[in-house]
Amino acid sequence: MAEYQTMRRTAAGARTGAQIDAGLRAHMNKVYGLMSVGMLLTGGVAWAVGTSPALLSIFRDPVTLQPNLLGWAAMFAPLIFVFGLAGMINRMSAATAQLVFYTFAAVMGLSISWIFVAFTGISIAQTFLVTSIAFASLSLWGYTTKKDLSGWGTFLMMGVIGLIVAMVINIFLQSPAIMFAVSALGVLIFAGLTAYDTQSIKNEYIQHAAHGDQEWLDKSATMGALRLYLDFINMFMFLLQFLGQRE
């Protein structure tokens, strides 16, 4: 009888583990799906504004590309959005969280629309392809590696804060050397964050799924998509400084 009860518990545990594995695959597919939709929104808005002189002139000087007041607002809106978004999502329904994420992606497209004037279309496409390959490789490694990447978090976030400070300072200094250093470090930091965030999303799902935290699971895909979206878009923008060909 004792052996039978042990076999029942073992079988139940195996089924639970299998269910979590299946749920994890579905969860990661949803994360990447939401992220892809966000990227399409960003690219669509950026292209529509960046290729329309009339629309772009609302935010920037069409010749110098220097931002006006609305341009500065568009540049900093995503940053402000990000700092408030994580806390906001926790208090939203899953559907509202997705809508907010898509709105953020559209605003991000507005803020980077100038690249279609500053760089050639071919170099933008090439940089996007390189970023996609790098992102996919790093994310796959973060998902499959047995190495614990949790120790990277604090170091990488300190690096992000340092990048933001350096970029704000360089708005006034306009130093090519600082911009080069920021771009190089930015690529490395967001490459690391891609692997780190992928592993974190995976581990967080497993922990919450084991406890049946359905409310968290309903919104976690959107939060994961936001994290990976930011890793991709930042890595793309920093790589564009190296691979982009100026118009």
| pLDDT for res 152 | 93
| pLDDT for res 226 | 92
Give the span between the Cα atoms of 124 and 51, in whole angstroms: 13
| pLDDT for res 69 | 86
What H or E segment, with its residue span, contains residue 165?
helix 152-173
| pLDDT for res 15 | 38
The residues, ordered by sequence, that sit 6+ positions from 78 with a Cβ below 8 Å of its Cβ are 104, 107, 108, 111
pLDDT tens digit at each of 247 positions of the chain: 444 344 333 333 433 666 777 888 889 999 999 999 999 999 999 999 999 998 988 888 877 778 888 888 888 888 778 777 666 766 788 888 899 899 999 999 999 999 999 999 999 999 999 999 999 999 999 999 999 999 998 999 999 999 989 988 988 888 889 999 999 999 999 999 999 999 999 998 888 776 666 667 778 889 899 999 999 999 999 999 988 888 6
Residue 104 near residue 227 (C-beta atoms within 8 A) = no
CA–centroid distance for 73 within its chain:
21
| Residues spanned by the domain of 135 | 2-243
DSSP 59: T
Say how many domains are in the chain. 1
